[in-house]
Each structure stands twice: as structure tokens, then as C-alpha cells.
Amino acid sequence: MSMDVQTDRLTALRQSMVNDQVHARGVRDQRVLAAMTKVPRHLFVDDEYQAQAYEDHPIPIGEGQTVSQPLIVALMLEALSLAGPETVLEVGTGSGYQTALLAELAQQVYSVERLPELARSAAARLESLGYGNVSVSVGDGSLGLSEKAPFDAIVVSAAAPQIPQALLEQLREGGRLVVPVGPAHAQELQLVRKQQGRAVIANLEGCRFVPLIGQQGYEEGW
């Protein structure tokens, strides 16, 4: 297959993913839909998984981790209500796919990944795609990134035992935090809004994420 034909085929698969898996299931934020139509998800997985990159499920990215199902990524991004000028913290860079979407949707993205090898390859991918408004660092993101706080929005891509206090503290007044909360088989995606210094919590969806491992997360081997 020529490069052009292959590129057209992947673009068509990506458009179908957005239409059939994301828009058809209720995601209406036009900026999220446009970003997902643009970002080449197949470049964030290993070659052996590229044929599955636009399918309706998570995909292994090495080290026992996954890039989340497209719909879940879309729901998390929509819940953040990003308009463009925001500074965002992402906890759990993984492949960097959601980081790229955030870079399309906000002004500045700080992403923290616990596993150095994943952080390194995600940063390299994001750089090769030209995302200059992203900074990836290695660390325990359950503690946030105090030196860059406060954040307009925070998204956590791994399940926490409860809403991490450090993240609440690093959220700006009026800011949004999206985090999956709960044990392996009973997680809820929660949207937390900081209003007059208080956390106002809404349950969005049942979900299933890998664990957030860290001081305000789970211990290894949960």
C-alpha cells in the first residue's frame, strides 16, 4: 500500500472512531471532537497494535499499562470544559495520546508519569509531532506538581483510592479535576469543581483504569 493510501485509510478510520464511538455516544464538545479527529492515535501505540488503534477498546502500551478507550478519553476531556487559555496538569502520561489532545485544547500542559521509560517515549513522540506547549516529567503525580500550580484543570488517568488532597489544593478556584476513584472493579469517574474553596463532586461514569500508584494513590501490587 502506498503511503498516501495508508494515510487516507487511517484518516478515515479516525473519523469513524470520532463519529461512531464518541459523537454517537453523546460527546458534543466540538473542540474535543476536532482534536480527536486531528491527533494520529496510531502513532501512540507500538507497530503491532497500529491496526487496532481506532478500535473501541484500550490498547497495551508496555509496562502493564494501556492507552484508554477513545470514548473514555473523550468523556474525561469534555468534562474538563477547556476553552483554550488554560494551564492543565495531567497525571499518568502513558503513551502521550491524551497529552497531545490536551495540547490541542489548552495553552500549556504539564504531564507527570511514574514510569521513566513511558515518560521518555511519550515525550519523544510529542516532540516529533511538534507539540511545544507540553512538558513531561517523571514523578509521583498523586502529589501533583506544586512548582507549576495552580492549575485550571487536572486530569488523572489512573484510579485513585480517593480524590487526592494534593490535587485539590493545586486546583485554581473555579477549576475542574477529573479522576477515576475506587478499587479495581468498582470505579467511578468523578468531576470535581472547586467552588469557594470547596470540592463539589459529580459522578460521571463507571470505568476501569489501572491504579494510581503513589503516596496519595495505591501501593504497588493493589
Whole-number minimum distance, CB 2 to ligand SAM, in Å? 29
Q: Which stretch binds ligand SAM (CB under 6 A): 91-99, 125-133, 180-188, 196-204?
A: 91-99
The residue among 141 and 175 lying less far from ligand SAM, judged by its C-beta, is: 141
Q: Which of 18, 22, 39, 65 binds ligand SAM (CB under 6 A)?
A: 65
Q: How far is Cα 69 from Cα 74, in angstroms, rounded to an integer?
A: 9
**157 binding ligand SAM? (CB under 6 A):** yes
Q: How far is CA 87 from the centre of its chain?
A: 14
Buried b (16+ CB within 10 A) or exposed e, 165-176: ebbbebbeeebb
Is residue 90 within 8 Å of 102, Cβ to Cβ?
Answer: yes
> Is position 68 annotated as part of the catalytic site?
yes
Q: Which stretch binds ligand SAM (CB under 6 A): 23-31, 90-98, 102-110, 126-134?
A: 90-98
Give Cα separations from 82 to 49, 59, 201 (angstroms): 30, 26, 18
Q: Which of residues 96-155 bind ligand SAM (CB under 6 A)?
A: 97-98, 112-115, 118, 140-142
Is residue 117 within 8 Å of 53, Cβ to Cβ?
Answer: no
Whole-number minimum distance, CB 138 to ligand SAM, in Å? 8
DSSP state of 21: I
Q: Which stretch binds ligand SAM (CB under 6 A): 30-38, 66-74, 79-87, 173-181?
A: 66-74
- Other Cβ atoms less than 10 A from the Cβ of 25: the count is 12
Choosing from 68, 111, 121, 157, the catalytic residue is 68
Helix/strand/coil (H/E/C) assignment for every residue in 23-92? HCCCCCCHHHHHHHHHCCHHHHCCHHHHHHCCCCCCEEEECCEEECCHHHHHHHHHHHCCCCCCEEEEEC
Q: Which of residues 161-200 bind ligand SAM (CB under 6 A)?
A: none
Q: Which stretch binds ligand SAM (CB under 6 A): 19-27, 77-85, 178-186, 207-215?
A: 207-215
DSSP string, 140-165: -GGG--GGG--EEEEEE-SBBSS--H
Whole-number minimum distance, CB 93 to ligand SAM, in Å? 6
The residue among 67 and 192 lying less far from ligand SAM, judged by its C-beta, is: 67
Contact set with ligand SAM (CB under 6 A)? 61, 65-68, 91-92, 94-95, 97-98, 112-115, 118, 140-142, 157-158, 209-210, 212-214, 217
